[in-house]
Amino acid sequence: MKLSVIVPVYQVEATLDRCVASIVGQTFSDLEVILVDDGSSDRSPQLCDEWAAKDSRVRVIHKTNGGLSDARNAGLDVATGDFVTFVDSDDYLESDTYQQVLPMTTSCDIVEFPVFRFYGSNKQSLLTFTSGICTEVSDYWLKHRAYQHSYAWNKIYKATLFADIRFPKGRVFEDVYTLPLLLERANQVGTTSKGLYYYCQNDQGITSTAKGPELTQLLDAHLDIIRQWCDDAYYMHVLNIQMDVYEQTGAVPRLPSRRINPFSANLSSILRIKAIMLNILGIKRICILNKIIHQWIKVR
């Protein structure tokens, strides 16, 4: 069983060594590590080559800058492992993560493992899971709320899932576009409490800096998915994105109407209130009200 670990690299000379060291130091050793230098102008290309010289499992691709999706796709194009995973170059892993997680791939096409989110910031939190298997991928998306953690990097995938799937070049929130496509081809999805991925704070990352155009792309991704899989909790999640897009752009709301039961399971108290307001006001008016409230808060 061979695992391909794809690492997009761009302007990360300060964190790259920590990232790669955490991969090559895994207790599971049947790895190929594909470092994709996406046109970096700092010392990252040199560091990539140094790692390849030190460890025969490390391969390096030097390419012109094409963005995160393009870098991941370049890695997928040359990956030879039975399974594939991703690591962002400013993040790192606990040393026994792959050893603990890979056994679940004998029965699952995708396995998700825990994340220490925003490590090193005041927003840090542990995202963990109970160990189990979803035989219906829609349950994984909805009941396990995979839409809230559709990250590419805290999962191991059967390589054949990517036979005709690639990350969308030129789009942000590319993980939200891609994971549902992979789920459509998966038979079973597993979750485990074992292993740990450290997702480190990046104040310049898209999660921190997203504005109207980026949030519109996020909304587009969810509007594609919601036609296939939807429950009240997921709808309210997408409604929050729609309200943010309206606040940033003023564009006419595109989320289809749905009447929400405010007593649906797994709705927080805030979402229950929003559901009642949505049922009374409709989508456009609740978007307008949300914008007015935020403007009032800013001028106070």
E strand or H helix that includes residue 7: strand 3-9
Do 166 and 75 touch, CB atoms closer than 8 A? no
pLDDT band at 101 (very low <50, low <70, confident <90, very high): very high
Give the separation between CA 300 and CA 45, rounded to whole angstroms. Answer: 49
DSSP symbols for 32-92: EEEEEEES-SSSHHHHHHHHHHH-TTEEEEEE----HHHHHHHHHHH---SEEEE--TT-E
Q: pLDDT band at residue 120, thresholds of 50, 70 and 90?
A: confident
Q: What is the pTM of this model?
A: 0.94
Cα 59 to the chain's mean position, in Å?
24
What is the SS3 assignment for 298? helix
What's the length of the chain? 300
Torsion of CA 141, 111, 21, 61, to 10 degrees: -80
- pLDDT for the residue 122: 83
Cα–Cα distance, 9 to 17 (Å, whole number):
11
pLDDT of residue 208: 61
If 0-12 CB within 10 Å is exposed, 13-18 middle and 19+ buried, where does residue 269 land? exposed
What local confidence, expressed as pLDDT, does residue 204 receive? 59
- Token pair belonging to 59: 């391969």
Residue 299 pLDDT grade (very low, low, confident, very high; cuts 50, 70, 90): confident
Residue type at position 154:
N
